[in-house]
Structure 1
Amino acid sequence: MEFETEDAAYNFYNDYAYRVGFSVRISKGHKDKYGKIVNRVFCCSCEGYRGKDKREDNVKNPRPQSRFGCLAKMKVNSRLTGKYRVTEFIAEHAHETTTPSKSHLLRSQRKMTIPQVAEVHLADDSGITPKASCELLARRAGGRENLGFIPEDYRNYLRSKRTMQMKSGDTGGVLEYLQKMQLEDSNFFYAIQVDEDDLITNIFWADVKMMIDYSYFGDVVCFDTTYRKNKEGRPFAMFVGVNHHKLTIIFGAALLYDETTESFIWLFNTFAKAMSEKKPKTILTDQDAAMAKALALVWPETCHRLCIWHLYQNALKKLSIVFGKFQDFSKDFNKCIYEYEEEKVM
């Protein structure tokens, strides 16, 4: 069997992988003196074994194993005829393959088409949420299995798009401001996270007053990400507390590009670093799953509690019929939150 191009060979093997139920990875290849690929190996994504992680003893929630030494592969070579001829093919897998109904979830089977990308841009510019837009695209395609990508791919694409759209003047302005603040006060703290393309993703800063306030009143912290930067809709996060006059004080602030577990892990680690590794005893947040996961990983000793305002908002959404039907339910609900007794364990 021969193919005109390397891409044609890959597409053939990937279509075969879809029917069998595994994901394809482009493996090793060789080039001639002109830089053209003369042979290539396409293998199962479970080929080989993962290298030993140096942090293995310290990682509490390690990633699941994804490589099992699978030998399934297809090798093509173009040295003889100029066309990519199959010179080796191994069909047997060292692991169970997925069912055809789940093949669309495999990494090599997921790709956003040009028309879909255009719709993503239109929805983003119109202010439509990724969840609503993704559901609409899935309905048009006849179901998520026919969509060609998953919601995570949608969010990742939006993140890349928004990062690329950030003008160099904006980036330079942010850096210039932070550097100016640090020149005026050597104790001013700021940290910037960049991605693999050296583009800014997350920013955190705290001045001396914030650090001093945290040293006195940082036992209980409220972490709020409900604010949004205009147009882009990026989260503006604040670490907030209360002083001895019952006034709201700010311990630190951050501009985030998404609300993923990875971003929160970076932010919580950076906040602790700015505050001389002092972690709060209690932190109040909303019911964000990614945030809760990050807190459990980074600050396991900190007591995590939900914000009362969010509890009431969720109660109104989920129990609106109950509130309307039973007049005393609101009072009973307040008692459940405020009027409680602590039992001492003997």
Structure 2
Amino acid sequence: MHIEEETKDENNREEIIEYSPDMISVHSKFSEEVIPKIGMEFMSEDSAYDFYKRYARIVGFGTRLSKSHKDNEGINLDRIFCCSCQGTREKDKRFAYVKQHRAETRFSCLTLMKVSRRVNGRLRVIKFEPCHNHVLASPSKTHLFRSHRQISIAQASEIDMACNSGITPKESMELMSRRAGGRQHLGFLDMDCDNYLKTKRSKDMQVGDTGGVLEYLQRKQTEDPKFFYAIQVDVDDLITNIFWPNAQMIYDYGCFGDVVSFDTTYKKNKEGRPFALLVGVNHHRQTTVFGVAFLYDETTETFK
């Protein structure tokens, strides 16, 4: 049995919203103020999306932006906010040859909230579909959805302060999660913290730094013709990885390079960049350096 709610928009078009018994049971647990309704108005698209995300978090699903239409000036006339499980994912042509497939996250869920811009500039809810065709997440798991993860300005400042003080991201995450009362109340995950630090380091290194480092390495090569260097930059002309050996390192490698160890027992500097060594031993069993690497991160591709 379904309960039907009949509504009308400004054009007097009737719209029938059907609520399943399951959604009625779910909505009965929450205040009416957090449940979207036809006719609700918002000052901006951001405020409408924030409201829908708060609703999604307490119900137990993730959200994302869907279709919209723009006028000649590029202003959105309407916007659809939908469940993260909306739609289907097209299969790759290599599907039959993939050994380990990605988890399926799209189930053609029809849950959505559509807002339309009125004459007064406000956005009004003209359609709301609350029913899902998949299992909802428990309240202790909703913080794992991408749409519900965000680092606030205060949290970003605390991460920066911890990083500048030499505290590892893992330790700072542990401290902040305990202060918040658990990881589920923190608002972001460890990977979000790592991505924030990586993005911040990229912004801190200006384009001119690439030219300065390149000039220094070229000067060293002029002083020592056997000095070798290789740098890797990204699409924004920001340095990612630097590798260099001097003449003595190259000579030592020719003599004692039968066994090479990639030493990752380094400590990071204040910039947060790993400093790695290619080392071996000479005929006196002394440690010999064959090459030096200034790395951007500790991923497999960087190590290669």
Report the TM-score when normalising by structure 2.
Answer: 0.71
Deviation track 1:18-65 (CA, whole Å, cap 9, x = no partner) reads 012111112232222222221112122222333444666776555433
Corresponding residue to 2:128 among 89, 94, 105:
89
Shift of residue 128, structure 1, vs aligned partner: 1.9
2:36 matched residue in structure 1 = none
Corresponding residue to 1:257 among 278, 283, 296:
296
Corresponding residue to 1:192 among 211, 232, 239:
232
Deviation track 1:170-221 (CA, whole Å, cap 9, x = no partner) reads 3222233456678987995624152x7553333445689759958x956x54
1:131 matched residue in structure 2 = 170
In structure 2, give the amino acid aligned to 1:201: T
Gaps of 5+ in 2: 1-39
With over 3 angstroms needed to count, the CA separation of the structure-2 counterparts of 1:48 and 1:193, relative to structure 1, is farther
In structure 2, give the amino acid aligned to 1:40: R
**2:77 pairs with 1:41:** no
With over 3 angstroms needed to count, the CA separation of the structure-2 counterparts of 1:222 and 1:52, relative to structure 1, is farther
2:57 matched residue in structure 1 = 18
Q: Name the SS of the counterpart of 1:101 in structure 2.
A: coil
1:267 matched residue in structure 2 = 303
Q: Name the SS of the counterpart of 1:176 in structure 2.
A: helix
Counterpart CA distance in 1 for 2:92 and 2:252 is 38
In structure 2, give the amino acid aligned to 1:142: G
Q: Could you tell me whether the CA contact under 8 Å between 2:229 and 2:242 is conserved in 1?
A: no
With over 3 angstroms needed to count, the CA separation of the structure-2 counterparts of 1:202 and 1:51, relative to structure 1, is farther
- Larger-gyration structure (1/2): 2
Gaps of 5+ in 1: 269-346
In structure 2, give the amino acid aligned to 1:120: I
**2:137 pairs with 1:98:** yes
Within a 5 Å distance, the mapping from 1:206-217 to structure 2 comes to 213=253, 217=257
Q: Name the SS of the counterpart of 1:13 in structure 2.
A: helix
What percent identity do the matched residue pairs reach? Answer: 53
Deviation track 1:287-336 (CA, whole Å, cap 9, x = no partner) reads xxxxxxxxxxxxxxxxxxxxxxxxxxxxxxxxxxxxxxxxxxxxxxxxxx
Flag the structure with higher helix content.
1
**2:209 pairs with 1:152:** no
Q: Could you tell me whether the CA contact under 8 Å between 1:226 and 1:236 is conserved in 2?
A: no
CA RMSD of aligned residues (A): 3.5
Shift of residue 11, structure 1, vs aligned partner: 0.8
In structure 2, give the amino acid aligned to 1:93: H
How many residues get paired?
A: 263
In structure 2, give the amino acid aligned to 1:264: T
Counterpart CA distance in 2 for 1:137 and 1:27 is 33
Q: Could you tell me whether the CA contact under 8 Å between 2:210 and 2:237 is conserved in 1?
A: no
Q: Name the SS of the counterpart of 1:74 in structure 2.
A: strand
With over 3 angstroms needed to count, the CA separation of the structure-2 counterparts of 1:20 and 1:207, relative to structure 1, is farther
With over 3 angstroms needed to count, the CA separation of the structure-2 counterparts of 1:46 and 1:217, relative to structure 1, is farther
Q: Could you tell me whether the CA contact under 8 Å between 1:193 and 1:203 is conserved in 2?
A: no
**2:179 pairs with 1:143:** no
**2:108 pairs with 1:66:** no
With over 3 angstroms needed to count, the CA separation of the structure-2 counterparts of 1:187 and 1:119, relative to structure 1, is closer
Shift of residue 169, structure 1, vs aligned partner: 4.0
Report the TM-score when normalising by structure 1.
Answer: 0.63
